[in-house]
């Protein structure tokens, strides 16, 4: 792995030197390029060390042993000291004063250097150091937590399986409550982290940490929240029908005569009510049953095969050697991060995934999603993209492409083509569409509504610690129509049970935006490349899809994300494609809900 570093640094310097001799770079900017080259070399070195330390901290959590946490903290501090140094800040600011003399790529790198500095300014080094220590401690507490169920050690995978399959409401309640116990442990750390994160970015002029994260899109907080509202308002009539349908269906399922006005959280098949899709089984497509005959290894290999079939190269051998793809035993003394993720370890070809794959439909889709991140990394790791810009066009693009590939791998023609269902089996297209809507449409109201508004309240509005749980459930009721099964006082911190609140903070709108982008991309692929119904596609073996995606992925963050979307789909960011996709479902739901009581207001 370390052998990549000298080569990478050399490639970076060679690339930049070439650019400075091409006429694209205007006179008098040689010192700018030298600064970027020098920064890049040190940044890649520190980034790689930091990723390695964080990898161990996330995959080897042992109670009573803080070695990995301390090492991760040291690596974070080294990166912070460099990226936030007074010299780097002053140099980047000085060079940006002559922006009109620089290439777009140089400007983007200098802006990124300042953006990195804002999260680590060494003018307040003591605050940055405290924040880093608090973040690593929070990670240890979050992923080292021992979940208990019925007096026995258990895992989040098991608790999730109970919420998907158990019909006994008391057992469901016990599993749901068990999944929330970790919040008590995390609340104090979250309060501390909120304050430290805000203080850190305020040193370079940002109002708060949420505003800082939003600025990565070239947007203000109000603009981002208005975008979230617009997205939800466009989809709200459909969500209101889904919510009404689900209330009646679950009441019938659990034998409850009086249909509740709001959905009790423990009735739903997901810990945060963000995905209701497992409540619908499409006749003829019982993927869980089929996958029980497969191994977790087979599922990940099938994901790789989808990507190679559309023109990507096989994954590097190091991916299989160094990734952590499968769960540890529930009673293992060693714990790991239980949230699926993809890692670009060295901004070169050391790519890894951290998952806990089991042989079921959810992990089948997740594996395809995570490999989307991996192939995005590998595609923008090229001679034309400087290491500092080896990121998605924006943060949402990574999620959009990964989720789109997961969606495509679940569509009937693809499953039939892969031999996972009978090609001649008759399925109900409306039920298929319903299952998808209970995933993606439902998710929009969690991501745009509950999560984004909670984190906005947390950071922008400085939400008092004694109102965390009240605010969380206020937002869940307003945006999702979901309420807790019992009174949840402030001794709980149910928001903190969502991993992103702790270790991927103030960015959850990324996921909402990614869904809009993915339906725009998928719509284009279906209609312009495959000439198939967007609701029934088969991506397998279609090299044109790979060519289309690589064109989007290749520039990384060196190209404005709005231009990338416009050039690839011919359209601006909007929810039209998503609305069109689910339109056939609306009239069916309205028919199903005739005579039923709607409890959500007509307008959000």
Q: What residue numbers bound the domain in which 123 lies?
A: 4-143
In SS3 terms, 101-128 reads as HCCHHHHHHHHHHHHHHHCCCHHHHHHH
Whether residue 473 lies inside any domain: the answer is: no
Q: pTM of this prediction?
A: 0.87
pLDDT bucket at 8, cuts 50 / 70 / 90: very low
pLDDT bucket at 2, cuts 50 / 70 / 90: very low
Contact in structure between 441 and 238 (CB atoms under 8 Å): yes
Contact in structure between 142 and 186 (CB atoms under 8 Å): yes
Cα separation, 537 vs 581, in Å, equals 13
The pLDDT of residue 575? 87
Contact in structure between 310 and 302 (CB atoms under 8 Å): no
Tokens of 122: 């060494």
The pLDDT of residue 331? 87
Handedness of CA 16, 22, 25, 26 (dihedral sign): positive
Taking only the tens place, the pLDDT of each residue in 292-347 is: 999 999 999 999 999 999 999 999 999 999 999 999 998 899 999 988 999 999 99
Contact in structure between 257 and 245 (CB atoms under 8 Å): no
pLDDT bucket at 14, cuts 50 / 70 / 90: very low
Q: Is the pLDDT of residue 15 over 60?
A: no
Q: Is the pLDDT of residue 272 over 50?
A: yes
Cα maximum dimension of the chain: 78
Cα separation, 277 vs 274, in Å, equals 9
Q: Is the pLDDT of residue 24 over 90?
A: no
The pLDDT of residue 7? 29
Contact in structure between 264 and 253 (CB atoms under 8 Å): no
Average pLDDT value over all residues in the chain: 93
- In which residue are the tokens 């990121």 written? 391
Handedness of CA 40, 46, 50, 53 (dihedral sign): positive
pLDDT bucket at 284, cuts 50 / 70 / 90: confident
pLDDT bucket at 30, cuts 50 / 70 / 90: confident
Cα separation, 47 vs 166, in Å, equals 44
The pLDDT of residue 50? 97
Whether residue 54 lies inside any domain: the answer is: yes
Taking only the tens place, the pLDDT of each residue in 162-221 is: 999 999 999 999 999 999 999 999 999 999 999 999 999 999 999 999 999 999 999 999
3 state DSSP class of 147:
strand
The pLDDT of residue 6? 29
Cα separation, 19 vs 384, in Å, equals 10
Q: Is the pLDDT of residue 1 over 60?
A: no
Q: Is the pLDDT of residue 429 over 80?
A: yes
Q: Is the pLDDT of residue 95 over 60?
A: yes
Whether residue 105 lies inside any domain: the answer is: yes
Q: Measured in Å, how far apart are the chain's first and last C-alpha atoms?
A: 51
The pLDDT of residue 568? 95
Query: For residue 283, what are the CA distances in angstroms to 326, 408, 429, 434, 435?
Result: 30, 19, 10, 13, 11
Q: Is the pLDDT of residue 9 over 90?
A: no
- Tell me the percentage of the chain whose pLDDT exceeds 90: 91
Cα separation, 294 vs 455, in Å, equals 40
The pLDDT of residue 393? 96
The pLDDT of residue 147? 96
Whether residue 109 lies inside any domain: the answer is: yes
- In DSSP notation, 396-456 reads HHHHHHHHHHHHHTTSHHHHHHTTSS-TT----HHHHHHHHHHHHHHHHIIIIIIIHHHHH
The pLDDT of residue 4? 26
Whether residue 424 lies inside any domain: the answer is: no
Which of 164, 160, 394 shows the shortest CA–CA distance to 276?
164
E-strand ranges in 212-295 read 263-264
Whether residue 597 lies inside any domain: the answer is: no
Compute φ and ψ for 150, nearest 5 degrees. 55, 40
The pLDDT of residue 591? 97
Cα separation, 271 vs 195, in Å, equals 27
Contact in structure between 224 and 217 (CB atoms under 8 Å): yes
Q: Is the pLDDT of residue 11 over 50?
A: no
Q: Is the pLDDT of residue 240 over 90?
A: yes
Whether residue 117 lies inside any domain: the answer is: yes
Whether residue 101 lies inside any domain: the answer is: yes
Tokens of 192: 């501390």
The DSSP secondary-structure symbol of 471 reads H
Taking only the tens place, the pLDDT of each residue in 474-509 is: 999 999 999 999 999 999 999 999 999 999 999 999
Number of domains in the chain: 1
């Amino acid at each position: 792995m370390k052998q990549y570093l000298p080569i990478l640094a050399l490639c970076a310097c060679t690339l930049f030197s070439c650019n400075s001799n091409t006429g694209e770079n205007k006179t008098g900017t040689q010192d700018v390029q030298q600064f970027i080259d020098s920064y890049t070399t040190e940044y890649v070195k520190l980034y790689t060390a930091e990723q390695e330390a964080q990898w161990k901290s996330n995959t080897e959590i042992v109670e009573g042993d803080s070695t990995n946490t301390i090492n991760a903290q040291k690596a974070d501090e080294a990166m912070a000291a460099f990226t936030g140094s007074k010299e780097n800040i002053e140099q980047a600011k000085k060079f940006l004063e002559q922006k009109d003399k620089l290439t777009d790529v140089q400007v983007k790198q200098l802006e990124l250097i300042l953006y990195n500095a804002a999260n680590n300014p060494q003018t307040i080094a003591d605050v940055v150091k405290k924040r880093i220590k608090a973040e690593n401690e929070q990670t240890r507490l979050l992923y080292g937590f021992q979940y208990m169920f019925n007096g026995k050690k258990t895992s989040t995978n098991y608790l999730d399986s109970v919420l998907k399959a158990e019909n006994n409401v008391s057992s469901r309640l016990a599993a749901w409550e068990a999944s929330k116990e970790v919040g008590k442990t995390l609340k104090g750390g979250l309060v501390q982290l909120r304050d430290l994160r805000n203080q850190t970015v305020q040193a370079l002029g940002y109002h708060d940490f949420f505003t800082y994260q939003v600025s990565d899109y070239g947007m203000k907080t109000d603009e981002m929240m208005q975008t979230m509202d617009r997205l939800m308002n466009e989809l709200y009539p459909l969500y209101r029908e889904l919510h009404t349908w689900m209330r009646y269906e679950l009441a019938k399922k659990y034998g409850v005569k009086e249909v509740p006005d709001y959905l009790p959280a423990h009735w739903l098949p997901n810990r945060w009510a963000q995905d209701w899709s497992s409540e619908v089984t499409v006749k003829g497509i019982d993927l869980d049953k089929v996958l029980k005959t497969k191994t977790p290894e087979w599922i990940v290999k099938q994901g790789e095969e989808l990507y190679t079939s559309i023109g990507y190269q096989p994954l590097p051998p190091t991916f299989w050697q160094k990734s952590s793809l499968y769960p540890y035993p529930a009673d293992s003394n060693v714990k790991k991060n239980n949230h699926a993720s993809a890692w670009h370890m060295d901004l070169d070809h050391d790519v890894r995934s951290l998952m806990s794959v089991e042989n079921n439909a959810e992990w089948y889709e997740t594996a395809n999603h995570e490999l989307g991140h991996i192939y995005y990394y590998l595609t923008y790791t090229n001679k034309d993209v400087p290491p500092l810009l080896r990121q998605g066009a924006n943060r949402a693009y990574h999620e959009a492409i990964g989720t789109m590939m997961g969606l495509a791998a679940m569509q009937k023609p693809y499953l039939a083509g892969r031999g996972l269902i009978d090609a001649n089996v008759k399925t109900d297209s409306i039920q298929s569409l319903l299952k998808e809507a209970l995933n993606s449409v439902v998710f929009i109201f969690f991501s745009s509504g509950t999560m984004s508004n909670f984190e906005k309240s947390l950071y922008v509005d400085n939400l008092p610690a004694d109102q965390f749980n009240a605010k969380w459930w206020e937002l869940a009721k307003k945006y999702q129509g979901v309420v807790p099964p019992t009174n949840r006082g402030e001794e709980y911190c149910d928001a903190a049970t969502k991993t992103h609140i702790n270790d991927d903070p103030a960015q959850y709108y990324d996921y909402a935006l990614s869904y809009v982008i993915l339906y725009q991309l998928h719509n284009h692929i279906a209609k312009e490349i495959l000439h198939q119904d967007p609701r029934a596609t088969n991506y397998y073996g279609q090299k044109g899809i790979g060519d289309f995606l690589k064109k989007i992925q290749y520039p990384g963050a060196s190209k404005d994300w709005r231009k990338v979307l416009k050039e690839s789909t011919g359209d601006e960011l909007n929810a039209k494609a998503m609305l069109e996709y689910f339109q056939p479902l609306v009239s069916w739901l309205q028919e199903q809900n005739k005579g039923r009581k709607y409890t959500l207001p007509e307008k959000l």
